[in-house]
Structure 1
Amino acid sequence: MSALAGKLRQLRAQSGQVTASPVAARPAMPANVRNLLLRHAQIKQQGPARLASRDRDVAGDEIAPGLRYTEARMDWLQPPALIDAAFARMEPMHHDRLLHFDTETTGLAGGTGTRAFMIGAADWIDGRFRIRQLTITSMAAETAMLRTFAGWLSDDTVLVSYNGKCYDAPLLATRYRLARLANPLHGLAHLDLLHPVRRRWKGVWENCRLATAERQLIGVVREDDLPGAEAPAAWLTYLKGGSAANLRRVAHHNAQDLKSLAGVLIQLSNLGEIPPPRRVRKIT
């Protein structure tokens, strides 16, 4: 039979017909390669488990499933007389009404796909500076975080932020709307410190970022600070089962932002650069 098949191939070749060469048999896959591919498929199927870490400690008390709360109080480092003078210049905007706030989010683009995974807020209680932070460790905890933050606001609250009018407030408004909750920021007075800083030092400093303002005005130079651009990766890594180390660094970064907000506000007030706060317009 094999001789006949060979004769037929010879006749086809002589007549000009082209035939495909017989397909060579695949060599057997080495056992180590096969095992490696199987292991890769198992890891891919397991998903988050491949990032499992023992370092899963997120600071704070769990006040709702997946929602962590931290609170700290500190004595202000600047002389009380300097603080009192600054607050006196801000009347009738009494300092007890001020709420400094800052969010850490999953991206800088905004829109419905971006969410806040951490909300930090700071105010003055009995002459001491109080910092409160909310951190969600699961997607399902976002509504609980939004409700808790809303409880920190009242009708006469004056918001203090850095670029919060353009970023933090609209982002939170979107998250409240998607959660079918009333937006508690609507109608509140809002003092965005980026605007007086730009008005006074644009073109004088290399830029008007908060890091520059805090260095120039209150002498804060951050060391081992996690850049804000790395915050989304820190949270997403934790959600996938990874280490909480960078998420804790995000919390430290957020707390320093709040302290810097208060320090910059006091310095601007003493320089006569604080305008009357404007009420937040309705964001649709």
Structure 2
Amino acid sequence: MKIFHNEEIYIKNDNFSESIFKENTMFFDIETTGFSPVKAVVYMIGCARRIKNRIVIDQYFAESPDDEADIIAAFAGELESCDTLISFNGAGFDMPFLRSKYKKYKQNDPFSALEIIDIFKELTPLKPLLNLENYKQKSIEHFLGIEREDKYSGGELINIYYEYLAEKDDSLLKLLQMHNYEDVLGMTKLLAILSYKEVLKNLSDIADIAVKPYTAYDGRKMNELIITFINKYPVPKAVSLHDNDNYLMLGIKNSSIRIKIFEGELRHFYSDYKNYYYLPHEDMAIHKSVATYVDNAYREKCKAANCYVRKHGRFIMQYNAFMQPEFKHEIKDKYSFFLLTDDFINSKQMVISYVKHIIDHLFRF
């Protein structure tokens, strides 16, 4: 087994990364000769931790497949002083692979007592917002402006490892070491990508609420509700997401959401329609206790589809029964609306709750 030890000056990137990358935090990445832990070998494990103003990177390398048990044991020893373990797709690949190896060699599982953060997994709900071609580590690094020397993929390095085993060529070893080194070091800089999720999940401060006019694509003059909020942490760069009803823009320090306002008539449907009568001439439903005073010729028993009262006003969409009463065009509509009132606009707490409601719909955290 070879051990490589290097240190880099720790440069504080942002407050969010600083809040996670503490001295009891470990980043790690493994290199293997395949996907199956039964058939493949883990030949390198790299890990990075922080000691004051330095990033310490240790790499454990199997000079032969017989070193596998030694490098996983050495890595387990590194984890004894940590309580948080961070990886990129580690929950999906690295940890299950290593757990299989710890079981094979009858070594203790070192992961059970650790808090696990998988950057790749954390990004899954954010894909509609980031809209990247793919979500590999190198793609995230490119998005964040992180550069690296290594040009190989893990798969391409498998043959290079086998060549090294046959030739013991130091230039081949350097390629293997560099790839793992840059994966681990790059991971320490990837934390900033998770600030988007932190901002969306921890909305707490509304900067402005306003109803403003805009011109629709068909030339109609309409209004929208614009809510501006202050990010808990700065994000790396501005991104946006537009669906049929909302336009969300995350700026570096401040963000906003623009919500279409429907102005016109909608219906509030009563769920207990068997207790109501429908009045065709008035196009509305009334409770049976009142309907007794209406001539039978002017009333009929309600069905679910016509058991409603009509309301004219300004409405905004909701994706479940967030506010009552709720209004729809038709009873089978998937989503409903609620009245946009001055009381709602003037209540920052209600507005914060509504923005969280939209964010939950968009991202399914």
Q: TM-score range by the shorter chain?
A: 0.5 to 0.7
Residue 106, structure 1, aligned to residue 33, structure 2: yes
Q: Secondary structure of the equivalent of 2:134? A: coil
Residue 135, structure 1, aligned to residue 61, structure 2: yes
- The CA RMSD measured in Å over matched residues stands at 2.3
- How many residue pairs get aligned? The number is 200
User: Structure 1 residue 271: deviation in Å?
Assistant: 6.2
Corresponding residue for residue 325 of structure 2: none
Q: How does 1:196-207 map to 2 (within 5 A)?
A: 196-202=122-128, 204-207=131-134
Contact 2:150/2:182 (CA < 8 Å) preserved in 1? no
AA paired with 2:141? E
From 83, 87, 91, the counterpart of 2:18 = 87
Alignment gaps of 5+ in structure 2: 202-365
Corresponding residue for residue 183 of structure 1: 109
After superposition, the Cα gap between the structure-2 partners of 1:241 and 1:147, relative to the gap in structure 1 and judged at 3 Å, is: same
Residue 158, structure 1, aligned to residue 88, structure 2: no
Equivalent-residue separation in structure 1 for 2:40 and 2:23 (angstroms):
31
Equivalent-residue separation in structure 2 for 1:243 and 1:86 (angstroms):
38
After superposition, the Cα gap between the structure-2 partners of 1:141 and 1:271, relative to the gap in structure 1 and judged at 3 Å, is: same
**Offset from partner CA, 1:31-60 (integer Å, 9 cap, x none):** xxxxxxxxxxxxxxxxxxxxxxxxxxxxxx
User: Structure 1 residue 70: deviation in Å?
Assistant: 0.9
Q: Secondary structure of the equivalent of 2:96? A: helix
Equivalent-residue separation in structure 1 for 2:72 and 2:138 (angstroms):
27
Q: Secondary structure of the equivalent of 2:57? A: strand
User: Structure 1 residue 270: deviation in Å?
Assistant: 7.2
User: Structure 1 residue 208: deviation in Å?
Assistant: 0.6
AA paired with 1:195? K
Question: Greater shift after overlay, 147-156 or 247-256?
Answer: 147-156
User: Structure 1 residue 101: deviation in Å?
Assistant: 0.2
Corresponding residue for residue 220 of structure 1: 146
Contact 2:48/2:57 (CA < 8 Å) preserved in 1? yes
Corresponding residue for residue 126 of structure 1: 52
Equivalent-residue separation in structure 1 for 2:134 and 2:140 (angstroms):
9
Q: How does 1:226-241 map to 2 (within 5 A)?
A: 226-241=152-167
TM-score relative to the length of structure 1? 0.64
Q: Secondary structure of the equivalent of 1:165? A: helix
Corresponding residue for residue 10 of structure 2: 76
Contact 1:234/1:244 (CA < 8 Å) preserved in 2? no
Give the fraction of aligned pairs with identical amino acids, expressed as a percent.
Answer: 25
Residue 144, structure 1, aligned to residue 70, structure 2: yes
Contact 1:85/1:270 (CA < 8 Å) preserved in 2? no
Contact 1:162/1:210 (CA < 8 Å) preserved in 2? yes
User: Structure 1 residue 242: deviation in Å?
Assistant: 5.2
Greater length-normalized contact order (CA 8 Å, ≥ 6 residues apart): 1
User: Structure 1 residue 252: deviation in Å?
Assistant: 0.6
Equivalent-residue separation in structure 1 for 2:150 and 2:46 (angstroms):
20
Equivalent-residue separation in structure 1 for 2:187 and 2:198 (angstroms):
16
Alignment gaps of 5+ in structure 1: 1-66, 276-284
> Which has the larger share of strand?
2
Equivalent-residue separation in structure 1 for 2:66 and 2:177 (angstroms):
20
Q: Secondary structure of the equivalent of 1:236? A: helix
> Which has the larger share of helix?
1
After superposition, the Cα gap between the structure-2 partners of 1:140 and 1:264, relative to the gap in structure 1 and judged at 3 Å, is: same
Contact 2:150/2:178 (CA < 8 Å) preserved in 1? no
